[in-house]
Amino acid sequence: MASIAGSSALSFARPVKAINTNSLAFSPVRKGNTFLHLQPVPMRSVSCAAKKDTVDKVCEIVKKQLALPDHTEVCGESKFSELGADSLDTVEIVMGLEEHFDISVEESSAQTIATVEDAADLIDKLVAGKA
C-alpha cells in the first residue's frame, strides 16, 4: 500500500491505532449448527470456550450498537449479520469492544469475526496476552 509519506503534514488530527503486538489473526471455528440458538446460556465449544462474562459483555455491546431491544435473544452463536449488522456496524462493534476491554484488534482479525463467540474468543486471547 502506497501510503502518503509525511503524515505530520495533515492539518487534522488523524487517529492512529497502536498495533498490539499480542494480537492474533484468529480463525473462528465454523460450527455445524445452522440454527440461531434462543437459549439464554451460550453454547460452549469443546475447547477454548470464551468466558461467560466476556460473551455477556459482547452481547451487551452488540445490542447497544445495533439498537436491539433488551429482550432480544443474543448469545454466542448469534451472527452479527443476522442481528442486522452491516460492514460499518461490525467495525464500530469491534471498536466498542476494543475500548471496553482495552485491547487492540488487528484489521485482519476484526474482519474474521462473524459471531458473538468469535469476538469473545478473540477478546479473551488478547486480554490473556496482556496479563
Active site residues: 86
Residue with Cβ nearer other proteins (2 or 46): 2
Q: How many whole angstroms separate alpha carbon 120 and alpha carbon 16?
A: 24
Sites for other proteins among residues 47-86 (CB under 8 A): 67-68, 72, 79, 82-84, 86
Q: How many whole angstroms separate alpha carbon 1 and alpha carbon 4?
A: 9
91: CB partners within 8 A, 6+ apart: 110
Residue with Cβ nearer other proteins (24 or 91): 91
Residues in contact with other proteins by the rule CB under 8 A: 1-4, 7, 10, 12, 14-15, 17, 34-36, 67-68, 72, 79, 82-84, 86-88, 90-92, 95, 107-108, 111-112
